[in-house]
């Protein structure tokens, strides 16, 4: 466990799969953890090895560069980066790696209802994309990351098919309930 991290993040780190992580979940602040843990929960459910930690574009800029520059070598295949307010984390990470970066805009206390975070990561310059999901859309970031991995992983393709079927079942069950 990385003891330099805040306790809840360190606990999430410890709970993460022990295999080499394929997905890196990062966020700007401890205050983002509640939102971003939805991504970790789904990846755990899909049995996708991941790591989760804090990397702040503004408060730990050198850590950002190191994280992004070493990500591919360490075995990561996708990075999910969440941030609120002036959410420069996903864009700056994307600037230092060619791995796909999925951005999660967060409606944090410091945000202008999240619009600032959305625009910070959505309007990337040509050549350095960030795949931005919905406001607080950490779960969809995990699904999208798994879809990317499933392009070359039959087990994950199967997992995603079953996940989609479970979503449909839930809707169908509610339709049945409403008919009663």
Residues that bind ligand RP5 (CB under 6 A): 27-29, 31-32, 56, 83-85, 106, 108, 110
Tell whether residue 169 is among the known ligand binding residues. no
Tell whether residue 37 is among the known ligand binding residues. no
Query: Shortest approach of ligand RP5 to residue 62 CB, angstroms?
Result: 16
Q: What is the 3-state secondary structure (H, E, C) of the chain?
A: CCCCCCHHHHHHHHHCCCCCCCEEEEECCHHHHHHHHHHHHHHHHHCCCEEEEECCCCCCHHHHHHHHHHHCCCCCCEEEEEEECCCCHHHHHHHHCCCCEEEEEECCCCCCCCHHHHHHHHCCCCCCCCEECCCCCHHHHHHHHHHHHHCCCHHHHHHHHHHHHHHHHHHHHHHHHHHC
Tell whether residue 59 is among the known ligand binding residues. yes
Query: Shortest approach of ligand RP5 to residue 83 CB, angstroms?
Result: 4
Q: Which is nearer to ligand RP5, 39 or 106 (CB)?
A: 106
Query: Shortest approach of ligand RP5 to residue 137 CB, angstroms?
Result: 14
Q: Which is nearer to ligand RP5, 35 or 146 (CB)?
A: 35
Q: Which residues are part of a known binding site for substrate?
A: 29, 32, 59
Q: Which residues are part of a known binding site?
A: 29, 32, 59
């Amino acid at each position: 466990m990385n003891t330099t991290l805040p306790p809840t993040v360190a606990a999430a780190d410890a709970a993460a799969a022990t295999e080499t992580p394929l997905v890196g979940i990062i966020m700007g602040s401890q205050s983002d953890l509640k939102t971003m843990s939805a991504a970790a929960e789904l990846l755990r459910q899909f049995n996708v090895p991941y790591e989760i930690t804090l990397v702040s574009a503004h408060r730990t800029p050198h850590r950002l560069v190191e994280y992004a520059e070493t990500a591919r070598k360490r075995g990561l295949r996708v990075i999910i980066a969440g941030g609120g307010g002036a959410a420069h984390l996903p864009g700056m990470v994307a600037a230092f790696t060619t791995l796909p970066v999925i951005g999660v805009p967060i409606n944090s206390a410091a945000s202008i209802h999240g619009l600032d975070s959305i625009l910070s990561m959505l309007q990337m310059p040509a050549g350095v994309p960030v795949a931005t999901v919905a406001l607080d859309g950490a779960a969809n970031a995990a699904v999208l990351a798994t879809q990317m991995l499933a392009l070359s992983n039959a087990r994950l393709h199967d997992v995603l098919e079953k996940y989609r079927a479970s979503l449909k079942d839930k809707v169908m069950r509610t339709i049945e309930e409403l008919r009663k």
